Structure 1
Amino acid sequence: MRQDLVVNLAASLLAFGVGWLGRALVHYYRTRMPAARVWRLDRGRRVVMVVGESGGPTSAYPKIPETDALAAMNLRQFLSQDLGLHEAATVRARAFAMASDAEENLVVIGGPVHNGIWTLLTDRLEPPYVFRQFPEEYRIIAVDSGEEYGESDVDTATLVDHAVVVLAHNPFAAGSRLIMIAGCALLATSGATQLFARGEIRALAKAYDTTSPLALVVRVESVGGYVRRPEVVAAANFTQAPATRTSPAPRPV
């Protein structure tokens, strides 16, 4: 009888172990692996999120745009849930320190209106989609075709906005990641971060080559305040120049 008890206990432990291992493998292949393929972080370096600032350049206490703050919060949550990365620094654009932060994994949130780091980095990337200023708005322009994407009111209850999402190498450190997200208006910046949620990031990893620098134009639609899932409406891989160091390498003694 005692032997039967031991056998039953061993069988139960084995079944528990097999079930736990199976669930862990499913979680890895369905969640962690797709997320890692898109994020492609250098785990030896920090993640630094650079958010824009509203107000003029002389404002003593500039505010972080609400949509940028929400975007940063969303991305921190996805990193924690899917990659187990619980620490990510968030800094304002004007507080970004090239000397200490330039070679980290960078996540830049907000476009050229509120975030000067966006322009600093895109000038070194030459992505296929860029922001261009018009008299009353900024729009996204496809460099090759000239196609335009922007904000528009479909009807009294429906608002459509577009964002650029760039997945690239950090131009100051090739092993580090650079992710950039910015909308033409307020809606798309935070809305586009949902591409990094579990279901969406799995589809993103499957549909696109994330081993090469990739730029996406993302459509975000709000219907009566309900924000629908983001939709990729244009995408292109692009060639990136080799990374340059932020300071000269020390000479051997």
Structure 2
Amino acid sequence: MQQDLTVNLVASFLAFLVGWLGRNLVHHYRTRQPAARVWRLDRSRRTVVIVSESRNASASFPKIPAADALAAMSIRQFLSQELRLHEVTTVRAGVFAMASDAEENLVVIGGPVGNGVWRLLADQVNAPYAFRRSPDGYAIVAVDEGGGEGEVYRESSDDDGTTIVDHAVVVLARNPFAPQSRLVMIAGCALLATSGATQLFGRGEIRGLAKAYDTTKPLALVVRVESVGGYVRRPEVVAAANFTQAATGRPAPASRP
């Protein structure tokens, strides 16, 4: 009887071990490996998430837009769960120190209105999609190498505001100040797409992203996010382009962007 009990325990342990290894192998090839190909982080460097500040904030009472805070939490959760990256620093754009942290892996959330780091790095990267101010807010415009402008993407809604469509830019590039580090930039024309676009990095979507696009080269995406009566659909990539990134340089000595 003792021998039978031992055999059963060993068999149960082996079955558990095989199942555990199988699940982890599937997770590695279906999620972790595609995520690593998309993010391409320099694991020897820190990862710093830089979020916008509300326009009505002050030095005494800084405020972070709710959409940016939600986007930052989603990114941190994904990096922790799928890439086992548990030490991610989140800072406000106004206190981010270029002089000390410009060469880290950088994730910039929020566009040129509230994020000075976005403005600074967008000038360095020269992605094929850029924000332009329009009479009814900011829009995303396709920009060619000669400076010409093409397709325009913006926020829109139906007459009663039940359905809202917003667009975001997502840039995956090298850090212009440290080519081995990663630069990821995410910002919508309005609040909806800033947080909604981060779902591209979710467990199901990241596989499609890694399969559909060449992430070995700098890549810019325009992402459509739709809300119907408060229900936010999965983000949809409506435009994408690999681009040639400008030569890397050294950070300016200033301690504030």
Fold-level similarity (TM above 0.5): yes
Supply the RMSD in Å over aligned alpha carbons.
1.8
Q: Deviations over 1:218-247 (max 9, x none)?
A: 000011111111000000000112322237
CA distance in 1, matches of 2:192, 2:228: 12
Following superposition, the deviation at residue 15 of structure 1 comes to 2.7
Following superposition, the deviation at residue 54 of structure 1 comes to 1.2
CA distance in 2, matches of 1:183, 1:139: 9
CA distance in 2, matches of 1:12, 1:141: 59
Could you tell me which residue of structure 2 aligns to residue 12 of structure 1?
12
Following superposition, the deviation at residue 21 of structure 1 comes to 1.2
Higher mean C-alpha displacement, 107-116 vs 139-148: 139-148
Could you tell me which residue of structure 2 aligns to residue 103 of structure 1?
103
Give unpaired runs (5+ residues) of structure 1: 249-253
Could you tell me which residue of structure 2 aligns to residue 197 of structure 1?
202
Could you tell me which residue of structure 2 aligns to residue 237 of structure 1?
242
Could you tell me which residue of structure 2 aligns to residue 251 of structure 1?
none
1:97-136 matches, cutoff 5 A: 97-136=97-136
Following superposition, the deviation at residue 84 of structure 1 comes to 1.2
2:191 to 186, 191, 210: 186
Could you tell me which residue of structure 2 aligns to residue 80 of structure 1?
80
Asked if 2 retains the 8 angstrom alpha-carbon contact of 1:219 and 1:230, the reply is yes
The one-letter amino acid paired with 1:73 is: M
Following superposition, the deviation at residue 12 of structure 1 comes to 3.4
CA distance in 1, matches of 2:9, 2:109: 53
Asked if 2 retains the 8 angstrom alpha-carbon contact of 1:174 and 1:242, the reply is no
The one-letter amino acid paired with 2:77 is: Q
Higher mean C-alpha displacement, 141-150 vs 213-222: 141-150
CA gap of 1:3–1:117, structure 2 versus 1, over 3 A, is same
Q: Deviations over 1:38-91 (max 9, x none)?
A: 111111111101111112686542311111111101111111111111121111
Scaled by the length of structure 1, the TM-score of the pair is 0.92
The one-letter amino acid paired with 1:154 is: D
Give unpaired runs (5+ residues) of structure 2: none
Secondary structure of the structure 2 residue equivalent to 1:103: coil
Asked if 1 retains the 8 angstrom alpha-carbon contact of 2:75 and 2:198, the reply is yes
CA distance in 2, matches of 1:168, 1:23: 32
Kindly tell me the number of residue pairs found equivalent between the two proteins: 248
Scaled by the length of structure 2, the TM-score of the pair is 0.91
CA distance in 2, matches of 1:158, 1:2: 67
The one-letter amino acid paired with 2:222 is: V
| Percent pairwise identity | 74
Could you tell me which residue of structure 2 aligns to residue 215 of structure 1?
220
Following superposition, the deviation at residue 34 of structure 1 comes to 1.2
The one-letter amino acid paired with 1:78 is: F
Could you tell me which residue of structure 1 aligns to residue 93 of structure 2?
93
1:175 to 177, 180, 184: 180
2:169 to 164, 171, 196: 164
CA distance in 2, matches of 1:79, 1:109: 15
Following superposition, the deviation at residue 4 of structure 1 comes to 5.3
